[in-house]
Amino acid sequence: MRHHRDWVPLLATGLLVLVVVVGFAAPWLVPHDPYQQRLTDALLPPLSHGQLGLHVLGTDELGRDTLSRLMLGTRPMLLVAVSSVLLAATVGSAVGLTSGFRGGALDAVLMRVSDIQLSVPPIILAILLAAALSPGITSAIVAITLVTWPQYARVIRAETMRVSTADFVQLARVAGLSRPRILGLHVVPNILSLMVVLATLNLAIAVIISAALSFLGVGVQVPRPDWGNMLAGGTQYLQSWWLVVFPGLAITLTVLALSLAGDHLRDLLDPRVANRGRRDIAIGEAGAQ
């Protein structure tokens, strides 16, 4: 059982590496021009031969190769997800560190702002923000950043307050270290692993929201391929199942891989989870004996 579980994060990591490689090298890996239209080859099923050759995943309503567009659509998805997570992690972590370390009225104001935003469903708020801006990649990045930063702020604040009460931080204060030095030398290094885990887990959320925005027409704009707008286009031709199944499968597998990788990373980096896991394994082995 344990060896079986060890393969899961490896498979998830391998899939994520494949997605990243395809995203960066898509222009050189695509079998056909993703933008070339050929109406005589429209809606060909998978493994069909058209005038341009074999279409492994079929073609869309304009005769464009589905596999090529799916591969090229990885790029905007990665750009939106990674950029929004980095921005949200930076803003949210800065707010959480400031709020948790300083406390007082500033803490109350910042947390009330985050509470108000967290009370609104994130996907609805992201759609409203993206629609208010001009649709596109930049709007999607800004919308996802504004929606997800309170999650970082809340978690980082709680961890900062916990670390700030530790003996080594109290000794640093007695020694006369300034607040910025205490934060940089003692607090941030002890919560950095939590930031990484939280960012990894939120990548899955960013992928879902990015696909939803593109699906609704307020994210990545056609004709640039994106998994979300490909899924939206496929819903108009449900008899051509491959136009819906393959983009949906790409989103599902990527989100699942990110979630599994994030869980495994949490187990590795969070000492409390790691110690609990080792204790459970030891109890199980003792019971088996």
In a domain, 65, yes or no: no
In a domain, 124, yes or no: yes
In a domain, 255, yes or no: yes
Q: Give residue-wise pLDDT tens across range 12-69.
A: 999 999 999 999 999 999 999 999 999 999 999 999 998 889 999 999 999 999 999 9
In a domain, 177, yes or no: yes
Closest C-alpha to 76, from 247, 205, 225, 229: 225
- Give the burial class of 269: count Cβ atoms within 10 A of its Cβ; 0-12 exposed, 13-18 middle, 19 or more buried: middle
Portion of the chain with pLDDT greater than 70, in percent:
91
Closest C-alpha to 101, from 176, 174, 175, 178: 178
Query: What is the residue range of 251's domain?
Result: 71-270
pLDDT at 222: 87
Q: Give residue-wise pLDDT tens across range 82-137.
A: 999 999 999 999 999 999 888 888 889 999 999 998 888 888 999 999 989 888 99
Q: What's the chain's average pLDDT? A: 87
pLDDT at 226: 94
In a domain, 176, yes or no: yes
Residue 283 has pLDDT above 70, yes or no: no
In a domain, 288, yes or no: no
In a domain, 52, yes or no: no
In a domain, 208, yes or no: yes
Q: Give residue-wise pLDDT tens across range 67-80.
A: 999 999 999 999 99
Residue 287 has pLDDT above 70, yes or no: no
CB 17 within 8 Å of CB 52: no
For residues 248-255, average pLDDT: 96
Instruction: Indicate which CATH number applies to the domain containing 133.
Output: 1.10.3720.10
Task: Considering only residues 270 and 170, tell me which one the structure prediction assigns the higher pLDDT.
Answer: 170
Write the DSSP string, 242-256.
HHHHHHHHHHHHHHH
pLDDT at 4: 52
For residues 204-222, average pLDDT: 93
Domains of the chain: total: 1
